[in-house]
Amino acid sequence: MIYVLEDDDNIRKLIKYSLTSQGFEVQDFSLPSEFWQTLENCTPNLILLDIMLPEEDGISILKKIRSNPEKSNIPVIMLTAKDSEYDVVTGLDAGADDYVTKPFGMMSLVSRIKAVLRRYEKPALQKKLLESNGIKIDENQHTVFAGNRQIFLTVKEFDLLVLLIKNQGNVLTREQLLEHIWDVSADVESRTVDVHIRTLRQKLGEYENVIETIRGVGYKFGNNM
């Protein structure tokens, strides 16, 4: 949904028609009071905001939007007949994402809108795949495979295996494991770590030796396959 706050009826109607024809949903306003009432209950994907308006100027409106924690991330493109460097800087300094001066071509405006929306698109979830010595871990899906066999781990067992494989070749002491996995100090009984290592090895089956015991120190994810 795109909100258009523009007091010139002809320009506002032309913008709405052009954007609608491009597949956008549009709600238009001629007065800031109407705009504020709707914005309070519904957050748009982008706002086209004129600077010269009755009741309240666009820069003031933009500053209020940016100071509202619930609305501050809405993309805003300023629309104005002014084209002086001072007005451009004022709009951008107030938090505008882009600035379009009148008169402007509708296709150019659509292109600018799409460009701003792309910048605000949430990035795809980064794949977090770990693989070594026959062990495959998908952190996003919270799945673990030992060879071709899926194994099912408790949350702590999963976190323990992930921490070990991320630090492959490095010895992690029981104290370090307690602190990172259980968020407790070394004063807590370190047998907790040993018990979880034992059950984790049992579930890994033929791959149990990827977890090495370093006597008197702790454990590491090694290369004993």
- Whether residue 83 has pLDDT greater than 80: no
Question: 142: alpha, beta or left, given left = phi > 0 and alpha = psi -120 to 50?
Answer: left
- Whether residue 186 has pLDDT greater than 60: no
On average, the pLDDT of the chain sits at 86
CB 96 within 8 A of CB 88: no
Res 140: pLDDT: 84
- For residue 52, what pLDDT band results from cuts at 50, 70 and 90? confident
Q: What is the CA radius of gyration of the chain?
A: 29
Amino acid identity, residue 10?
A: N
**Percent of the chain scoring above 70 in pLDDT:** 87
What average pLDDT does this structure show over 118-139?
80
Write out the two tokens for 62: 């933009």
Res 124: pLDDT: 53
- Whether residue 187 has pLDDT greater than 70: no
How far, CA to CA in Å, does 181 sit from each of 91, 167, 168, 185?
48, 14, 16, 11
pTM: 0.54
Secondary structure (DSSP) of 83-110: --HHHHHHHHHTT-SEEEESS--HHHHH
What average pLDDT does this structure show over 89-110?
80
Res 101: pLDDT: 82
- Whether residue 90 has pLDDT greater than 80: no
- Whether residue 191 has pLDDT greater than 60: yes
